Amino acid sequence: MYPSIDRGFPDKLSSGAVQKGLTTEWLGQQPIFCFGVVETTNIEANRLAREGRPEGTLVVADAQTKGRGRLRRSWVSPPGTGLYLSVVLRPTCAPDRFPALTLTAGVATAAAIQQMGLVPQLKWPNDILISGKKVGGILTEAVFDKKQIDFAILGIGINVNTAAEEFPVSFRNQATSLRLSLGKPVSRVALLQNLLIKFEHYYGLFSEGDFGSIIHSWSELDSTLGREVEVSLPESRLLGVAEAVEPDGTLLVRDKTNRLHRIVAGDVVHCRTAPLTVDRSPFTE
Ligand code: BTN
């Protein structure tokens, strides 16, 4: 199914390797569920959450056969190359704050990638980019109980040592890996440790309700604001300029009639850099 590639160095993801020297307080400090191949780590984490496993339960797989992305897309998950993980979370926030969890995870993932010497950017709501190409993504899923969040599954996928030929041909000009960007292999274990440390920090802010700090960090990494965007909504398509991200994770897009739209969920395509002012609208015909 996947080409066999000599990666030049061993990089086995095991519970022992990840926990050795891990300096988090709680995340990753309980037994880590490390799998060789699963359909998707989000399903494994969902099963563990339903069994009553606590917040912070971590599932990692070397490969996924049915890796999932947002909007029913698939996430290409070849063995030995990427980081595919899911975390069980039990947030106590109001359900309408849930979308901010995706932004929180995006900031943490970007911060971990920065520590490997790269310059990532974020694209609303869940993409991690390097030089405009997708290197990672976040998939958050929540299960509700009487309008409260019962539990959430945070899934993160990062193309770490993926070779160009491992991406489907149709993706090759849109996707990259840390290795392709850096020009040398990256340790998945070290990256995962960094990610756990960063996510523990930012999830602490999320749990305290400090969405302002999260959005501030997100905005510093953002590649969407100030740009002309096309938003695919369930029933329609919106063209406008991305103006801001609200503390609850909502994207504000102003259309050419100067109307402001609050986008809670949707697919955003960057069109071109645009000024934020509406009087010099990029839509003027
Ligand atoms: C996206 O960009 O649309 C989100 C991609 C999320 C992929 C990760 S890999 C680990 C977890 N398991 C999955 O099946 N998906 C997420």
Atom of ligand 1 nearest to the CA of 66: 14
CB 58 within 8 A of CB 195: no
Centre of ligand 1 from the C-alpha of residue 129, in Å:
15
Residue type present at position 176: T
Cα–Cα distances (Å) from 120 to 127, 133, 158, in that order, read 10, 10, 12
| Per-residue pLDDT at 7 | 52
**For ligand 1, atom 7: residue with the closest CA:** 157
Residue type present at position 65: T
For residue 216, what are its two tokens? 């501030």
Where does the pLDDT of residue 276 fall: very low under 50, low under 70, confident under 90, or very high at 90 and above? very low
Rounded to an integer, the average pLDDT of 109-119 is 97
Name the residue of 35, 37, 42 whose CB sits within 8 Å of the most ligand 1 atoms, as the mutation to test its pocket. Answer: 42
Q: Is 183 left (phi over 0), alpha (psi -120 to 50) or beta?
A: left
Q: Tell me: pLDDT of 2 over 90.
A: no
| Per-residue pLDDT at 251 | 95
Centre of ligand 1 from the C-alpha of residue 66, in Å:
10
Three-state DSSP at 166 gives helix
Give residue-wise pLDDT tens across range 208-264. 999 999 999 999 999 999 999 999 888 889 999 999 999 889 999 999 999 999 998
Q: Please give the residue that has the higher pLDDT: either 285 or 77.
A: 77
Mean pLDDT, the chain, rounded, equals 90
Domains in the chain, CATH or no CATH each: 15-221 (3.30.930.10), 228-272 (2.30.30.100)
Cα–Cα distance, 188 to 2 (Å, whole number): 19
CB 243 within 8 A of CB 209: no
| Per-residue pLDDT at 280 | 28
| Per-residue pLDDT at 44 | 98
Give residue-wise pLDDT tens across range 187-196. 999 999 999 9
**For ligand 1, atom 15: residue with the closest CA:** 68
Rounded to an integer, the average pLDDT of 92-114 is 95
Torsion sign, CA atoms 197, 87, 40, 144: negative
| Per-residue pLDDT at 59 | 98
**For ligand 1, atom 10: residue with the closest CA:** 84
Q: Tell me: pLDDT of 4 over 70.
A: no
For residue 242, what are its two tokens? 């991305």
**For ligand 1, atom 16: residue with the closest CA:** 155
Question: Is-cis flag, bond preceding 125, omega within 30?
Answer: yes
Return the residue matching tokens 């010099």. Answer: 280
| Per-residue pLDDT at 145 | 87
Rounded to an integer, the average pLDDT of 78-86 is 95
**For ligand 1, atom 3: residue with the closest CA:** 69
State percent of the chain over pLDDT 70: 92
Atom of ligand 1 nearest to the CA of 69: 3
Where does the pLDDT of residue 272 fall: very low under 50, low under 70, confident under 90, or very high at 90 and above? low
Torsion sign, CA atoms 250, 253, 258, 259: negative
| Per-residue pLDDT at 235 | 84
Torsion sign, CA atoms 175, 211, 93, 233: negative
Rounded to an integer, the average pLDDT of 147-162 is 96
Where does the pLDDT of residue 83 fall: very low under 50, low under 70, confident under 90, or very high at 90 and above? very high
Centre of ligand 1 from the C-alpha of residue 198, in Å:
18
Instruction: Say if residue 267 is exposed, middle or buried (CB neighbours under 10 Å; 0-12, 13-18, 19+).
Output: middle
Q: Which of 112, 118, 113 is nearest to 131 (CA)?
A: 118
State percent of the chain over pLDDT 90: 81
pTM for the predicted model, two decimal places: 0.91
Where does the pLDDT of residue 110 fall: very low under 50, low under 70, confident under 90, or very high at 90 and above? very high
Centre of ligand 1 from the C-alpha of residue 104, in Å:
15
Cβ burial 221-235 (10 Å sphere, 16+ → b, else e): bbbbbebbbebeeee
Q: Tell me: pLDDT of 9 over 60.
A: no
Q: Please give the residue that has the higher pLDDT: either 183 or 3.
A: 183
Name the residue of 43, 64, 68 whose CB sits within 8 Å of the most ligand 1 atoms, as the mutation to test its pocket. Answer: 68
Three-state DSSP at 59 gives strand
**Ligand 1: residues whose CB is within 6 Å?**
40-42, 64, 67-70, 73, 75, 84-86, 126-127, 137-139, 155-157
Centre of ligand 1 from the C-alpha of residue 132, in Å:
19
Phi then psi for 161, rounded to 5 degrees?
A: -110, 20
Determine which of 113-127, 171-185, 257-271 has the lowest per-residue pLDDT on average.
257-271
Which of 38-42, 93-97, 162-166 has maximum average pLDDT?
Answer: 38-42
